[in-house]
């Protein structure tokens, strides 16, 4: 009986060893799971999942999972995941400063230096904008610029010449007044223009400053900034040729333009995506560079999505390769085709499509590319690396509302912002002292 038990035990051990050996064969090795996240949007969710599968085809040992996050919850969820050490390996970020301050991003500089040949055709401003203290923390996922859209039909009906890059802000205001139409009771039925709501950019566009040169002090309370705020508020408060901030909230920022009830719209190049999906049958649009302030340099804001690698990733090099994979011209071409991006490279498949895009007027194509060649990073210009950007942004937006919606004078609002941001700078400096 004892011999029989020993024989059975020996057989079990042999079977166990055989099973273990089989499970360790190369073909049975467990795949690496690579996770990445971006803003949830049906068109992009489908596209990014398809591209994830293509990355797996090139890397058979990797399974890629795209995990979209709803825009309104994006930062909160991602920062919570980072704090809990469960973040995706790669993700889009809206704000380098906040994520770098939490030591959550991988330094990509060494990999970038080895891949410089691959990145050589990307517009230099897009790479430069992702450096922080001499280190590269993200790759560009798209790019867009400020642009002035106009409705050709409404200009033709008034017998007015179309806007062009020689226009000044005075020209813009004069045309807005001529193109505003009211009914017999004085109610506006057609706006001359829909103006920008990026007030910091409008300050910069008028020659104003937010920070001194080394960003050690907020200097937003300057004559140019005051003039800019008053000039733009006059559009809806004095001349009544543009919707008020509250009307914009009710109607939607660009909706009157799309529906043919506004002659001009100071917007961004990504909004071509909106024009492609609704209102195109009614909208005979074109675009040109944003008007400049007399005697001042034109400030054209550049915005972009940034792809970063979590520094807690177990597979950082693969995550970097995935981000790099998403910058390939054939991937950016999809964004260009949707209308949500300009080409990030000066040549290649995405640019070839852009130049032939049947849904963009020829003048608009040239204006957007010229704007891109002159653009400055909106984020890098207004951000201060010494304070949390989310706090800076909140202070500016909440305080500016006292002027844009309320009756607080421009100078007082600017002084409030200056005081609050300088106090925030002092607080952050004290925290840095051991």
Task: Decide: 312 and 395 in contact? Cβ < 8 Å.
Answer: no
Above 90 in pLDDT, residue 8?
no
DSSP-derived 3-state class of residue 74: helix
* Residues 408-430: tens digit of each pLDDT: 999 999 999 999 999 999 998 76
Above 80 in pLDDT, residue 332?
yes
Q: Which CATH number is 94's domain given? A: 3.40.190.10
* Residue 20 falls inside a structural domain: no
- pLDDT of 6: 45
Tell whether 58 and 78 lie within a shared domain. Answer: yes
Report d(CA 192, CA 263) in Å as an integer.
5
Question: What is the CA 157 to chain-centroid distance, rounded?
Answer: 36
- pLDDT of 14: 44
Tell whether 153 and 184 lie within a shared domain. Answer: yes
* Residue 15 falls inside a structural domain: no
CB atoms within 10 A of CB 176: 21
At 280, the pLDDT band (50, 70, 90 cuts) reads low
Tell whether 150 and 133 lie within a shared domain. Answer: no
* Residue 395 falls inside a structural domain: yes
At 9, the pLDDT band (50, 70, 90 cuts) reads very low
Measured CA to CA in angstroms, residue 378 lies from 4, 30, 199, 228 at distances of 81, 44, 12, 17
Tell whether 216 and 167 lie within a shared domain. Answer: yes
Tell whether 297 and 234 lie within a shared domain. Answer: yes
* Residues 46-55: tens digit of each pLDDT: 999 999 999 9
Number of domain units in the chain: 2
Tell whether 308 and 298 lie within a shared domain. Answer: no
* Residue 359 falls inside a structural domain: no
pTM of the complete model beyond 0.85? yes
φ and ψ of 211, to 5 deg: -125, 160
* Cβ burial 16-35 (10 Å sphere, 16+ → b, else e): eeeeeeeeeeeeeeeeeebb
At 199, the pLDDT band (50, 70, 90 cuts) reads very high
Report d(CA 174, CA 188) in Å as an integer.
17
* Residues 28-80: tens digit of each pLDDT: 566 899 999 999 999 999 999 999 999 999 999 999 999 999 999 999 999 99
Q: Domain boundary at 260, 294, 327, which? A: 327
- pLDDT of 94: 85
- pLDDT of 25: 47
* Residues 312-321: tens digit of each pLDDT: 999 999 999 9
Evaluated on CA atoms 106, 108, 110, 114, the torsion sign reads positive
Task: Decide: 132 and 95 in contact? Cβ < 8 Å.
Answer: no
* Residue 10 falls inside a structural domain: no
* Residue 340 falls inside a structural domain: no
* Residues 84-97: tens digit of each pLDDT: 999 999 999 988 98
Q: Domain boundary at 327, 342, 367, which? A: 327
Task: Decide: 345 and 116 in contact? Cβ < 8 Å.
Answer: no
Mean of the per-residue pLDDT values of the chain: 92
* Residue 8 falls inside a structural domain: no
Tell whether 294 and 310 lie within a shared domain. Answer: no
At 365, the pLDDT band (50, 70, 90 cuts) reads very high
Lowest mean pLDDT among 251-255, 283-287, 297-301, 368-372: 251-255
For residue 190, the surrounding DSSP H or E stretch is strand 188-190
HEC secondary structure over 330-343: HHHHHHHHHCCCCC
* Cβ burial 97-110 (10 Å sphere, 16+ → b, else e): bbbbbeebbbbbee
Residue span of the structural domain in which 100 resides? 28-143+304-327
Tell whether 50 and 87 lie within a shared domain. Answer: yes
* Residue 7 falls inside a structural domain: no
Measured CA to CA in angstroms, residue 313 lies from 31, 34, 95, 99, 316 at distances of 16, 9, 19, 15, 5
Environment class of 68 (CB within 10 Å of its CB; exposed 0-12, middle 13-18, buried 19+)? middle
Tell whether 233 and 308 lie within a shared domain. Answer: no
Report d(CA 67, CA 91) in Å as an integer.
9
Tell whether 225 and 85 lie within a shared domain. Answer: no
* Residues 148-179: tens digit of each pLDDT: 999 999 999 999 999 999 999 999 999 999 99
Kindly give the residue spans of alpha helices, DSSP state H, lying in 271-388. 272-277, 316-325, 329-338, 349-356, 362-374, 378-382
Output the six-digit token pair for 240: 């009544």
Task: Decide: 339 and 270 in contact? Cβ < 8 Å.
Answer: yes
Rounded to 5°, angle at Cα 186 from 183 and 191: 70
Tell whether 85 and 171 lie within a shared domain. Answer: no
Tell whether 181 and 105 lie within a shared domain. Answer: no
Q: How many CA atoms lie within 13 A of 58 on its CB side?
A: 9
Report d(CA 169, CA 150) in Å as an integer.
15
For the chain, how are helix, strand and coil distributed in percent, rounded to 5?
50, 15, 35
At 249, the pLDDT band (50, 70, 90 cuts) reads confident
- pLDDT of 28: 52
């Amino acid at each position: 009986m004892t011999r029989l038990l020993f024989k059975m035990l020996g057989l079990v051990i042999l079977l166990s060893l055989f099973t273990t050996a089989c499970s360790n064969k190369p073909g049975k090795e467990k795949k690496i799971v690579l996770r990445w996240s971006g803003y949830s949007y049906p068109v992009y969710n489908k596209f990014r999942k398809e591209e994830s599968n293509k990355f797996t085809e090139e890397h058979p040992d990797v399974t890629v999972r795209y995990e979209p996050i709803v825009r309104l919850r994006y930062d909160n969820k991602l920062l919570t995941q980072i704090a809990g050490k469960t973040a995706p390996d790669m993700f889009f970020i809206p704000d380098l400063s906040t994520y770098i301050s939490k030591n959550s991003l991988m330094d990509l500089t060494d990999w970038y230096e080895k891949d410089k040949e691959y990145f050589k055709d990307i517009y230099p401003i897009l790479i430069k904008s992702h450096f922080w203290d001499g280190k590269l923390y993200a790759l560009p996922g798209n790019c867009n610029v400020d642009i002035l859209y106009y409705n050709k039909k409404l200009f033709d009906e008034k017998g007015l010449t179309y806007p062009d890059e020689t226009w000044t802000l005075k020209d813009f205001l004069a045309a807005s007044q001529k193109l505003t139409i009211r009914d017999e009771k004085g109610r506006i039925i057609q706006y001359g223009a829909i103006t920008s709501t990026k007030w910091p950019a409008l300050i910069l566009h008028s020659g104003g400053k937010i920070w001194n040169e080394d960003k050690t002090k907020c200097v937003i309370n300057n004559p140019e900034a005051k003039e800019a705020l008053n000039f733009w508020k006059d559009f809806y408060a004095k001349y009544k040729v543009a919707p008020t901030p509250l009307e914009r909230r009710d109607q939607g920022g660009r909706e009157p333009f799309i529906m043919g009830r506004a002659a001009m719209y100071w917007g961004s190049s990504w909004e071509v995506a909106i024009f492609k999906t609704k209102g195109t049958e009614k909208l005979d649009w074109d675009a040109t560079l944003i008007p400049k302030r007399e005697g001042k340099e034109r400030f054209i804001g550049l915005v972009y999505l940034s792809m970063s690698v979590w520094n807690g990733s177990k597979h950082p090099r693969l995550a970097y390769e995935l981000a790099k994979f998403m910058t390939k011209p054939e991937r950016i071409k999809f964004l260009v085709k949707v209308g949500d991006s300009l080409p990030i490279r000066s040549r290649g498949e995405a640019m070839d499509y852009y130049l032939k895009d049947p849904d963009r007027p020829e003048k608009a194509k040239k204006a957007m590319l010229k704007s891109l060649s002159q653009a400055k990073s909106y984020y890098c210009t207004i951000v201060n690396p010494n304070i949390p950007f989310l706090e800076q942004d909140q202070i500016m937006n909440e305080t500016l509302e006292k002027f844009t919606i309320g009756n607080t004078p421009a100078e007082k609002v600017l002084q409030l912002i200056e005081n609050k941001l300088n106090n925030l700078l002092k607080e952050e400096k004290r925290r840095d002292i051991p």
